[in-house]
Each structure stands twice: as structure tokens, then as C-alpha cells.
Amino acid sequence: MKAQSKFGILLALALVTMPVLGQGAAAGGEVLLPQDPGQASLKTEQIRLQNLTRSAEFFNILRNKRVVDVNGLPTVGSIYINEEFKPCKVYYKDEFQGEYLYRHNAFNDEIEIRSTNLTDKMVSSLLIVKNLWLEDASTNKRMGVMTFQNPDQSLRNGYLYPIVDQGMYQLYYKNQVKYTEGAQAANSFVRPTPNRFTHFKRYFLKIQDKEIAFPLDKSKSSILKQLPKELRDKAKDFMKENKISMKSEEDLAKLITFLNS
């Protein structure tokens, strides 16, 4: 089957992998883990990438519903990790699905894709289905849909980027964008504050035999509580001796590498 004919994955698989809690789940809303993960594998042979995409018209309606009120103020920053469309390879599990152009809308956590045929201007959005992976063709960096836990204990499926993805303990990050509404000037002596999109990262610990990636915060306890008791003291000593900062991606990667040694 040619790559261009694979433009989609069966929507039924998304519903099996991501049971819907509400109307918004198909667009990245809250999900529960499937009662029987093996059910998804039964659909594997029927997978097609085209049904994993929303039509351009439907996607634009969804996106427009989320447009913020700019109140006539300028906006600083972008909702995108990469403003321009870049070439990528799309995989479902280990099966190559095709080559496309993409950009990551981190505000809505959506991957917008279009054909590599530059005359085709139609833009679609991939549904958030577990085991879907993209590889940036220029950097070879990957991102994939995984289930992660929010600080409020709720579960979501979304795009995570691997930092350390080998071994029992794995480290991922999530690109996120926060919107802050600006304010008009109160008087002629005060400048107006523009609307602003601010980019930041959240880090997650994934344990190989568990389905969920757990959030890490500034406290060392956020990672220690996920470790078995026999490993906690070793991890504490390592963090103290190496002055590990939970804010440093380099330090977190160093810690995860130690845990896997």
C-alpha cells in the first residue's frame, strides 16, 4: 500500500484505546485506561491512518471554538512549537504509515498535518490515539501519544517527547503553552499589557511495566514515591551527592540513567 493511501487510522481503534468520558474526549479530553488493552490489538490489522484525521472543516470549527478573546490587544508568542510545517514520518506502533508535513499546536495539544504535496493546502488534525508516533525528519526527534497523570490525579492521553526511553525507568517531557490575557492601559501614563502565549515543559516518569507516565514537580519526593523502597535511599544519596535539581532536564536525565544502572 502506498504511503499516501494510508492517510488515517480506524476511528474505532481510538474509541477502544481511549474510552470517552465526555464530548470533548475525542479532541483530547479526559480518558480512562481500557478495561481490556488486548481489545485494541484485535483492530490492528484494520488500521488506516486516514480515519485518524479530522477533516479540515471540522478541525477548523474545533480550533475556532478555542480561540481566545484578544480584546483588541496584540498577542505575543505562538501556540505552535514549530510555526512552519516540517516533514515527518508517522508510525502506529512499529508500522510506518507515511510521510507528511506537521506542526505541533501545544496549546490544544494537537498535531496538524498536511500532505507533502505543497499544492494541497488542506490541513487536518490527528486524533490522539495511543501508540501513534511521529519522527521529525530533520532532527530525528520523536513524539508519541501516551497516557499521563495530571497533578490532580486525572488521566489524559497526549503527546510526550522522550528524553530517556530505554530501561526500566524512562523520562519524558510535555510541551505546553499557557495563555495569559492582557489588559488595556488604565490611563495614558500606563502601557497596555499584551496577550501572551508562554511555552514551558512538564516532566514525567514512566516505569516500563506501568501504563501511566507520572508527573514530576520541583520536589524530589515526586520521583522518590514512585520508586521501590529498596531504591529510594540510593536515589536520595545520588541526588544529594550530585546536587540534582528537579528543574534541570540534564540533571533529571542523569538521575534516570543512574536508576537504570
pLDDT for the residue numbered 177: 94
**Hey, what's the cell of 125?**
488534525
- The helix/strand/coil state of 93 is coil
> In the prediction, which pLDDT does 231 show?
95
Phi/psi of residue 242, each to 5°? -100, 5
* 9-49 tens-digit pLDDT: 332 233 223 322 222 333 333 333 333 333 333 333 334 45
Which residues face 213 on adjacent strands? 148, 206
pLDDT computed for residue 54 by the predictor: 52
Distance CA 235, CA 11 (A): 43
Spatial distance between the Cα atoms of 182 and 194, rounded to a whole number of angstroms: 5
Q: What is the pTM of this model?
A: 0.75
DSSP three-state, residue 196: strand
DSSP secondary structure code for residue 26 in this structure = G
Residues of the chain with confidence (pLDDT) below 50: 1-48, 55-56, 58-59, 61-62, 64-68
Measured CA to CA, the distance from residue 143 to residue 82 in angstroms comes to 13
Contact of 80 with 105, CB cutoff 8 Å: yes
Element (H, E) at 98: strand 95-105
157 closest CA partner among 4, 1, 21, 6: 21
Find all residues with CB under 8 Å of 131, minimum gap 6, and list them.
17, 92, 93, 144, 145
pLDDT value for 199: 96
pLDDT for res 222: 95
* pLDDT computed for residue 80 by the predictor: 94
- Contact present, 216 and 205 (Cβ < 8 Å): yes
List CB contacts of 234: < 8 A, sequence separation 6 or more.
none
Query: Which set of grid coordinates corresponds to residue 240?
Result: 544529594
